[in-house]
Every structure is written in C-alpha cells, then in structure tokens.
Amino acid sequence: MDLTHRPRRLRRDGLRDLVSETQLQASDLIAPMFVDATTDEREPIESMPGHERVPVSEAIPRVEEIQATGVESVILFGIPGSKDSRGTRAWAEDGVVQRALRRITDETDVFAITDVCLCEYTDHGHCGVLDDGARERWEGAQTDGGVATNEREASLTVDNDETLELLGKIAESHAAAGAEMVAPSSATDGMVGAIRETLDETGHTDVPIMSYAAKYESAFYGPFRDAADGAPAFGDRRHYQMDPANADEALREVDLDVEQGADVLMVKPALPYLDVVQRVGERTDQPVAAYNVSGEYAMLQAAAEKGWLDIDAVAHESLLSIKRAGADLILTYFAEDVAESL
C-alpha cells in the first residue's frame, strides 16, 4: 500500500501520551456531597450507588474520604429537618449546610462550594417562592384534593423577583458559615446580580459565584431529586429551567450572568449537552464548569451492575469527553473513583 498518511503511527504506546490532547486531573473535579438533618446515620442513596446522605456528625469523615482520593473540592447540598413554603431553613444560621460548613472549613482544607437553591427547603419543592396563583392552587390541592384546571396557567409556579431576595440571604448565610464559592442553581433571572450585591454589601467580596448559567429542564436529575428530596410536589420546572431544544439561548444566559458578575459559568447536564459546553467555552474566556448529573451517573452504574459496561472505563471516558468539549471543571459523582484511578 502506498499510504502517505497513517494516523495509526501516532497511536502506539509511548507516543500516544505525548500527543494526547486532553488531560484529566483530580484537581478538575468537584465531588457533590449530601448533608442530611433528618438522620443520625449515613443513608445510602439507592439510585446513586456509592453515594450517601450523611449527618452533620459525619461531614468530616466524608470529606476526608473524598480528599483521600485526591479530590480537593466539594459541593454541598442540604436536606433540612423541616420544610415550609418559603424554604426558611435554607438561610438559617443553624441550617444543616451551615453547620456542616463550619465544621468542614474549621477542620479540613477542602475547597467548599455550596449549592444555592430553595427546592430542597420548600414544602412544594419548587426552586423559589410561589406566585399568588400557584400558592392558591397548591393550598387548594392540599385541602380539597382539587387540581388546577387550566394547564397553561398551572405551569407557572415561581415568582422570579420575590425569590431573588431569598437567594441573596442563602448565599450570605453560606458565606458567613465559611463557603468559599457559591453556586446558584435556581434558574432565577437576575440571581447572579442579586447574590453578588448581597455578598458585596455583607463583606464577602472575595467569595466567587459559579452560576448554573445554562441549566436545562432535564429528566436526568431524577436520582438527585430522590437523594435530596427536592422533586416538585406539583407542576414542573419548564417555566424557569431551559428548554433542551435550545442552545443559542444558553449563550444569552451566559452573557447575562457574565454581565451580572458570575466568575464561573456552568452547563448542566453535561453529556447530553456537550455541544452547549463547547459553545459556552468558545463564547467566554471565563472558566466553564459542567455538571455530570445524577442521571448520567445512575445510568452507567445500572448498566455496569448488569455487567454490560466497564464502569471505570466509561466513567473515565465520560469525564474526558466533557473536558475535551471545553469544560475546565467538572462536578461529578464519579469524582472519587476517577481521581483514584488517575
């Protein structure tokens, strides 16, 4: 054969690594962890094998396990002891995330990020304050079992602007408890600006914001909603989270968050949205994060349990692909396993 170009020449061991375009490092990874005020013991999360909800008393051991794998950053999610319509436990000084954070930042040097949202804290499970119509429908549904008749009206739930103030309070309370970065995920218009303003006014000018800028209304969050008990009790999130059909819109979201002072821009989920990760990376010169979400983790674990996939190989390949698409940091439930294998 008279072949001038033989790409295989570069694929041989020894040379392969020299020409490798993408490197995955433990320092790229952020491990999610769940702190739970409703339990005294570690509780396995069924749909996310290998993950647990831990009480505050286990927060340090959990962080130490994560750090032992080489992962140096965590993002904290809280399951509060009680919920109400405004999610007040989300900004309580003695809230579950705040208590865990104080311990973690006192006793470890892990980089502690917090998710800033209301869905785990509201009794209705939405990521903000209900608007008047939704509140009436929700209260009515609880007393007489009635449901809204007009579906289009029923799809509107959260009052955007009333939610902003609460997000500021949550971010401030996290920063006061030691959060080193806050990550608002409520898909509220103006959330980055509102949080930046509150943090600056309260002396937390050095706490960066990692915005869930392009956050899709995705069915891949299912296992997380079981884990964090944050599924909406009625309706869905279609009027605040993004339509999976759209990518140009993600760029508009990113531009708005940059204008409002976001430090890191996140795309979520990751694998089904790698085109968006790539476009966001091309759009901004700020760091881009991608969230390899619970459903992406659960489906690979389920296939591996059946013996259909090699979990270590597909986890590594998944994260490598997310990086190749342009993510600088990756939030992933595979963080520990992959970091250990690097």
The footprint of ligand PBG (CB under 6 A) covers 115, 117, 119, 185, 221, 224-225, 230, 293-294
- Of these residues, 169, 268, 306, 323, which one is catalytic? 268
73 annotated to a ligand binding site: no
72 annotated to a ligand binding site: no
Measured from the Cβ of residue 228, the count of other Cβ atoms closer than 10 Å reads 22
Angle (CA) 68-328-177 rounded to 5° is 60
| Nearest distance in Å: CB 293, ligand PBG | 4
Alpha carbon distance 311, 3 (integer Å):
38
| Nearest distance in Å: CB 92, ligand PBG | 17
In contact, 61 and 71? CB cutoff 8 Å = no
Q: Using the CB atoms, write b or e for 40-49: b if 16+ within 10 Å.
A: eeebebebbb
Residue whose CB is less far from ligand PBG, 198 or 294: 294
Alpha carbon distance 171, 178 (integer Å):
11
119 annotated to a ligand binding site: yes
Residue whose CB is less far from ligand PBG, 57 or 88: 88
**DSSP state at residue 273:** G
Find how far residue 146's CA is from the centre of its chain.
34
Please give the single-letter amino acid code of residue 43. Answer: E
The residues, any chain, with a CB within 8 Å of residue 221's CB and separated by 6 or more, are 269, 293, 294, 295
| Nearest distance in Å: CB 91, ligand PBG | 14
Residue whose CB is less far from ligand PBG, 79 or 119: 119
- Of these residues, 83, 215, 306, 323, which one is catalytic? 215
Instruction: Respond yes or no: is residue 83 known to be catalytic.
Output: no
Q: Which residues pair with 289 in a beta bridge?
A: 266, 329
Residue whose CB is less far from ligand PBG, 60 or 111: 111
Residue whose CB is less far from ligand PBG, 185 or 198: 185
216 annotated to a ligand binding site: no
| Nearest distance in Å: CB 267, ligand PBG | 12
| Nearest distance in Å: CB 209, ligand PBG | 15
333 annotated to a ligand binding site: yes
First-to-last C-alpha distance (Å) of the chain: 39
Question: DSSP H helical segments within the chain, as ranges?
Answer: 59-68, 96-107, 132-144, 151-154, 160-176, 191-201, 222-228, 248-259, 274-283, 294-305, 311-325, 335-341
Cα dihedral 95, 100, 106, 110 sign: negative
Measured from the Cβ of residue 292, the count of other Cβ atoms closer than 10 Å reads 28
Q: Is 187 left (phi over 0), alpha (psi -120 to 50) or beta?
A: left
In contact, 125 and 232? CB cutoff 8 Å = yes
Residue whose CB is less far from ligand PBG, 138 or 221: 221
294 annotated to a ligand binding site: yes
127 annotated to a ligand binding site: yes
Instruction: Respond yes or no: is residue 268 known to be catalytic.
Output: yes
Numbered residues of the known binding site for Mg(2+): 253
Catalytic residues: 215, 268
Query: Which residues are annotated binding-site positions?
Result: 117, 119, 127, 225, 237, 253, 294, 333
Instruction: Please enumerate, by residue number, every residue annotated as part of a binding site for 5-aminolevulinate.
Output: 225, 237, 294, 333
